[in-house]
Amino acid sequence: MDENQKDHFASLVKAVADERDQTAFTALFDYFGPRLKSWLVRQAMSPDEAEELVQEVMTVLWHRAHLYDPRQASISTWLFRVARNRRIDAQRRARHRVSGAYAPLYPLTETPAADMMFEREEQAARVRAALSGIPPEQMELVTAAFFLGQSHAQIASETGLPLGTVKSRIRLAFERLRRALEDDTPA
């Protein structure tokens, strides 16, 4: 996806967030819906399950477009991350339904303590800040590998980069991320 396309999609998301622009939302849905569904099917979901999950992801976009920050990630990265997280949640729920036959009727749920929630938010902010320091050519490869689930060979094939360059850039990105998080760790 080139910069013009990224800017175009970011402006569509802004229109959805600011004005509830249905035309902008439709354009985003038409572009990303089939891509999300295809990716989810490749992640071993049935087409019907994938379609349902795409609906959930796009509902998140409609209701939470104001949370999207184009400085942090492209809209495709954001949507695929939401899809990935929702897919994991769906798999957990499916496992729970299978093993839930012997579970108590009213399971106890543990609510995280306020200090733990605050600590998680701080940690997430540190990770976001560290990710913003990774050069775009490295971040693109990290996104493909970890958010889209592509193998290094697939990334090399799609980008035209040598496999060694792909591996090296991903390794360098993680070294940079590790250093940034170590330097930013509260004492």
Q: pLDDT tens digit string along 24-37?
A: 999 999 999 999 99
Considering the four listed CATH numbers 3.40.190.10, 1.10.10.10, 1.20.950.20, 1.10.630.10, the one that applies to the domain covering 110-187 is 1.10.10.10
pLDDT confidence of 119, banded at 50, 70, 90?
confident
Between CA 52 and CA 49 the distance in angstroms is 5
Residue 134 to residues 12, 131, 142, Cα–Cα distance (Å):
26, 5, 10
CATH for the 1-109 domain, from 3.90.1150.10, 2.160.10.10, 1.10.540.10, 1.10.1740.10:
1.10.1740.10
- Is 110-187 in the same CATH topology as 1-109? no
Model pLDDT for residues 74-83, shown as the tens digit of each residue: 899 999 999 9
Domain ranges of the chain: 1-109, 110-187
Angle, CA 30 vertex, CA 54 and CA 48 arms, to 5°: 30
What is residue 185's three-state secondary structure?
coil
